[in-house]
Structure 1
């Protein structure tokens, strides 16, 4: 029986099977079989989307049997075999797919990641270079990012930095490349450069648990306990049950302190719960004292504000958020305005889904 490895990532950067580029496969002599193969392939994609890897593998294999020249089906079978740890079968399927469709950026990236995971670094690099060089490739930055991450895995940090930098030269908001460049700078004890990369990331995306921990580590390297505390508070507020919150707490104790409230108590939680989870807001501050946040509200422009309480690890905190924005850039502009108005605060953009998950 095939055993899949949970939710193991299929590729270093998300060149997902669900978004395979169209492939120019040659028609078979049996149009009915070709049509049935395409139907089975689409079924396999749907199974993969819903996390049913075994069914996806079965459907992809059926598609290959019906139409051996369906490159997309070979690629999907390769990815499913890779996830099932059937490495030899995956290798065969990748080779068959590449023979049928040698100019697919998706296939070259996925096959490159497969080779990198097997520590065939030279072969992986050649595949990524081919993907990046394809003039019709709509996302060459993915190939550069994959190549950079593979170079990191091979222990070649200078090459990794060069490739990741190429990725963001193509697309400044390539989140994985920017994040990894920040991590590299931090590992090289260049905290100011790391912070610059983190700021570039935040110009395009809201914080995640990983970027908040990165910020805490940067502040720790800078010798700024207040900065560490600020990021730790954000993690405990936004991602209280995350591994990153646990790691951040080991860097030092948050300044906010603790106060005892009944678990799950909230203030104005109904407003927060009723917001569109895809919308964004600006978190202004976290404090053990509600009065402090009440005073801050007086300094804010007229907008929708809320104070709510969360209780991570029995350490309740009041949290002040302001605004309800459907667009991330609008929320980011509001955050910058708050920074100017309250220069001692370090506001950050959040989406309501993350807040609602912890209420």
Structure 2
């Protein structure tokens, strides 16, 4: 039935774009959800025009549809219209101020435009809901945000909370290893990096410039010059223009 309703609405959007939603559709509680689902389908395909239309139809039925405002915010974010994207994120949060998802999405948007202090506040709000199904991801995002405003202790706490909720998040493991290295806890940094390396070996994740540069430093701590040189060579070959490779060159006699 839901699939039929989405199909029907899709036909209405593509075939009768100029028409208003009928009274009968307004009487269907599932119509708002169907329009929002359709809008997200269009958004995933990169069809922002039809996505806008679907979300607008949802708002015509329910002016308090936070999902629709959030959807429009994501549409305008994709179109790189920063001002409009932010205005719709704020509308979504105004309608659903306790929604962890809305705060997480707005925080991720602020992070993407490098407004890090504001992003951290929104991401912190997202982590407050113990029932949010993406809470581990939100803590990981928050940790990354704290690193960029030089709050190392807060970043450590956020990454640890992320891993408490989901111990198999490779980015959180890597970031926490780097944090512990910066804080001088070499044993913990090595242990965490070994976990990350095992995930690389199992092809669960790939190396990044950050992980390779960390691998160089971890190997040096272990007095393993061969491993350090190997990580350095891979870093040179894969990320020759990276900041990490420049740091590696400067650190090599």
Deviation for aligned residue 1:208: 0.8
Gaps of 5+ in 2: 1-20
Deviation for aligned residue 1:103: 3.1
Q: Which has the higher strand share?
A: 1
The answer to whether residue 50 in structure 2 is matched with residue 48 in structure 1 is no
Whole-Å separation in 2 of the counterparts to 1:219 and 1:203: 15
1:97 counterpart residue number? 92
Cα deviation code 1:243-285 (max 9, x no counterpart): 2798769958xxxxxxxxxxxxxxxxxxxxxxxxxxxxxxxxx
The question of whether the paired residues in 2 share the 8 Å contact of 1:78 and 1:89 is answered with yes
The question of whether the paired residues in 2 share the 8 Å contact of 1:182 and 1:194 is answered with yes
Whole-Å separation in 2 of the counterparts to 1:82 and 1:148: 23
Structure with max Cα Rg: 1
> TM-score, normalization: structure 1?
0.50
Per the alignment, do residues 126 and 248 of structure 1 end up closer, same or farther by CA in structure 2, a change over 3 Å counting?
Answer: closer
2:25 counterpart residue number? 32
Deviation for aligned residue 1:119: 2.6
Per the alignment, do residues 49 and 202 of structure 1 end up closer, same or farther by CA in structure 2, a change over 3 Å counting?
Answer: farther
1:226 counterpart residue number? 226
The answer to whether residue 183 in structure 2 is matched with residue 185 in structure 1 is no
Deviation for aligned residue 1:91: 2.2
Whole-Å separation in 2 of the counterparts to 1:203 and 1:223: 20
2:159 counterpart residue number? 164
**Stretch moving more, 221-230 or 100-109:** 221-230
Q: Which has the higher helix share?
A: 2
Deviation for aligned residue 1:145: 1.9
The question of whether the paired residues in 2 share the 8 Å contact of 1:161 and 1:181 is answered with yes
The question of whether the paired residues in 2 share the 8 Å contact of 1:213 and 1:245 is answered with no
Per the alignment, do residues 151 and 249 of structure 1 end up closer, same or farther by CA in structure 2, a change over 3 Å counting?
Answer: closer
Deviation for aligned residue 1:53: 4.8
Whole-Å separation in 2 of the counterparts to 1:130 and 1:75: 16
2:5 counterpart residue number? none
1:119 counterpart residue number? 115
**How many residues are treated as equivalent by the alignment?**
220
Deviation for aligned residue 1:77: 1.2
Deviation for aligned residue 1:213: 4.8
2:101 counterpart residue number? 106
Whole-Å separation in 2 of the counterparts to 1:176 and 1:111: 21
- Superposed CA RMSD in Å reads 3.7
Deviation for aligned residue 1:46: 1.9
The question of whether the paired residues in 1 share the 8 Å contact of 2:36 and 2:55 is answered with yes
Whole-Å separation in 2 of the counterparts to 1:249 and 1:88: 36
> TM-score, normalization: structure 2?
0.67
The question of whether the paired residues in 1 share the 8 Å contact of 2:116 and 2:149 is answered with no
Per the alignment, do residues 218 and 30 of structure 1 end up closer, same or farther by CA in structure 2, a change over 3 Å counting?
Answer: farther
1:77 counterpart residue number? 72
Deviation for aligned residue 1:226: 0.2
Summarize the alignment of residues 1-359 of structure 1 with structure 2, pairs less than 5 Å apart. Answer: 30=23, 32-33=25-26, 37-53=32-48, 55-57=50-52, 59-116=54-111, 117=113, 119=115, 121=117, 123-187=118-182, 192-202=187-197, 206-210=204-208, 211-220=211-220, 224-231=224-231, 235=234, 242-243=238-239, 251=248
Deviation for aligned residue 1:112: 2.4
Per the alignment, do residues 213 and 54 of structure 1 end up closer, same or farther by CA in structure 2, a change over 3 Å counting?
Answer: farther
